[in-house]
Amino acid sequence: MKTYSHRVNGTAVPIYYPESPDDLDGFHAFLERPGVIGLDTETTGLRIFSKGFLCRLVQFGRDNEAWVLDAAKFAGIIRYALARPDFKFVAHNAPFDLLVLDRTGLAELEDLGPRVFDTYILGHLCDPRTEHDGGAGLGLKPLSTVYVDNDAADTSKALYEVFRREYKANKSTGWALIDVDHPLYVTYAGLDVVYAARLLRELSILIRTNGLSDLAKLEHRVQLLTTAQQKRGLLVDVEYTEKLMDELETEARDYAALAATYGVDNINSTKQVIAGLEGMGEEWAAKTASGNPAVGKEVLLPMADLDAQWNRLEVRTPNPLADAIIRSKRASKWGESYVRTFLDDRDENDRIHPFIKSLAARTARMSISNPPLQQLPSSDWTIRRCIVADPGQLIVSADYSAVEMRVLAALANVAGLKRLIAEGADLHTATAILVYGEATWNAASAKEQKRMRSLMKIIGFGKVYGGGPTGLARQSGLPYADVKNAADGYDSAYPEINAYGRQLQRQAAYGGGAVYTPIGRRLPLDRDRAYAATNYVVQSTARDVLAEALIRIDDAGLSDHVLLPVHDELVCQFPAADAEEGIRQIGLLMETTINGVHIASEPEVYGPTWGHGYGAPA
């Protein structure tokens, strides 16, 4: 047995590293003590489902003691401890450890998952902001610093230094290379479970006293459902994906070469792009947030004449450099951010297992990474076509119809909107008629009607996002006067929306700078962006609508069909013969009513691939 020690908030905590079975007596005694046990794993890396992935250490800890077990040497006792139905555990970012333990055969997700608390969830409920956004932070280290020990060790940073110095490795390769009994590795591995155990104690008090216990329970259940989705993963059509990767690489290379003939050797260098375009006599006013000339697509697209800028005054010849930059950047973005990761991240069965954070954004929205499946291009089917249903099944999907507008109507109690929703009207068209008057609408040409509807849609988005006429005009490219006029009409038709925003800001002013959502979630506002209150509450409530739908779907026994949440949509799969009925059922389970407003959903059978929902040829 090796024994190390580290101070936690003033007291020395022993960290035990047993070397032979004889060393485990103390561990058995440790296990049998009452209370929740801190749990953590150290692994060869972050890609749980890649070839050669191993769990190296499994750590157990309480407030004043940690046990760090070599996962290979002590697999038997680890399995025993994790399978004991009367034991409860606490981990930070539990999905990672649950999937590690499940993948390596040390525990089963379905058995262990319901017995694990996650301090990440509790921390998020207490303050959903990262340190960067002025919050307590959401990592183990920042949370421990705030709630456990002002001098909490940054265990991973210190280890990166050891990786470099002693192993000539970096932060990603070091985890597999460091000796499994390296004293700092073992000490810091043990420290993390002590922090987790103490964090649970401290955060539980805050959760209870702030009335967040039910919400915490719900979030743990939702997290378990998304972790099961991550375990299931999605099947990649490797043959198609490899071919697409080739094509995108070629396209990116060819257009980059074309840009080089105009002196832009590196299309990703904003400096070079600015110099190249200015050298061709281009002039533009758009600036980035920090005041430099912007060369995003809002600048390049009009120059290249790739979009229909129908309000542009001057007729001009397309700029071939701008065109080449756009095309090369797009091909490399699609290739490197999406298609490449499908190939790189897949397991031995050609499945990808994206990391689904069920409680991610400061509004509680979910996020998906590695690969970022919530962000695949939707204008075009080619990327989504890489993802296919399991053999004999079809990809199906149900999404909420204008969920944020409906949530806004419900929360702000907007009489006009509520009436239109109840009537099943097309919201933007009906709003246009309301704002411009029936006579004007009827006298208008089809083109004018389309323009009025589109204005109402833009203003609606502005209401949900908190945008004013200036920004909306800039973003949409429409004349300010038209947008301002439309916004004024909108405000007269639906005065409750602005009143609701003012009410939220008053609440925040007297409520510690935070607003509260109907589910009881606390959303801190930035002092200088109080206008975001409406968006936060609406976005967050729409997220909770989806989260609660996942639970109803699970209660109905249909969870195994859910592949992914995409903010207002659930991507699922069903055996071909049941697809239509299956997604109809899920769509019905998704539907709910808030304050008399029906939150409707639309089911759709896509086909054998995800791309079939976006126009992929049958």
Residue that is written with structure tokens 């420290």 in the block:
191
**Closest distance of CB 62 from DNA, Å:** 30
Site residues for DNA, window 132-161 (CB under 7 A)?
132-133, 157, 160
Asked if 377 touches DNA (CB under 7 A), the answer is yes
Q: At what angle do helices 403-411 and 415-423 cross, to 10 degrees?
A: 130
Give the residue, chosen from 9, 44, 50, 270, that forms a contact with DNA under the rule CB under 7 A. Answer: 270
Give the residue, chosen from 11, 64, 250, 268, that forms a contact with DNA under the rule CB under 7 A. Answer: 268
Distance from C-alpha of 607 to C-alpha of 618, rounded to nearest angstrom: 8
Give the residue, chosen from 5, 250, 292, 595, that forms a contact with DNA under the rule CB under 7 A. Answer: 292
**Closest distance of CB 239 from DNA, Å:** 22
**Closest distance of CB 443 from DNA, Å:** 29
Asked if 375 touches DNA (CB under 7 A), the answer is yes
Residue among 82 and 542 whose Cβ is closer to DNA: 542
Residue among 210 and 470 whose Cβ is closer to DNA: 470
Distance from C-alpha of 607 to C-alpha of 554, rounded to nearest angstrom: 23
* Other C-beta atoms lying within 10 Å of the C-beta of residue 312: 12
Residue among 360 and 389 whose Cβ is closer to DNA: 360
Distance from C-alpha of 458 to C-alpha of 455, rounded to nearest angstrom: 5
Site residues for DNA, window 599-618 (CB under 7 A)?
none
Give the residue, chosen from 266, 309, 492, 595, that forms a contact with DNA under the rule CB under 7 A. Answer: 266
Give the residue, chosen from 469, 582, 587, 607, that forms a contact with DNA under the rule CB under 7 A. Answer: 469
Asked if 461 touches DNA (CB under 7 A), the answer is yes
Distance from C-alpha of 126 to C-alpha of 136, rounded to nearest angstrom: 9
Give the residue, chosen from 56, 353, 365, 612, that forms a contact with DNA under the rule CB under 7 A. Answer: 365
Radius of gyration of the chain (CA): 27
Site residues for DNA, window 55-114 (CB under 7 A)?
none
60 in Cβ contact with 32 (< 8 Å): no
CB within 8 A of 14, min separation 6: which ones? 3, 4, 5, 64, 65, 66
CB within 8 A of 200, min separation 6: which ones? 36, 38, 90, 117, 119, 122
Report phi then psi at 582, rounded to 5: -60, -50
* Other C-beta atoms lying within 10 Å of the C-beta of residue 576: 14
Give the residue, chosen from 47, 73, 201, 330, that forms a contact with DNA under the rule CB under 7 A. Answer: 330
Asked if 269 touches DNA (CB under 7 A), the answer is yes
Residue among 44 and 367 whose Cβ is closer to DNA: 367
Residue among 167 and 441 whose Cβ is closer to DNA: 167
- Among 25, 33, 32, 31, CA closest to 58: 31
Q: Which of these segments, 23-31, 181-189, 297-305, 448-456, binds DNA (CB under 7 A)?
A: 297-305
Asked if 351 touches DNA (CB under 7 A), the answer is no
Q: What mask, x for binding DNA by CB under 7 A, covers residues 554 to 583?
A: ------------xxxx--------------
Distance from C-alpha of 313 to C-alpha of 334, rounded to nearest angstrom: 33
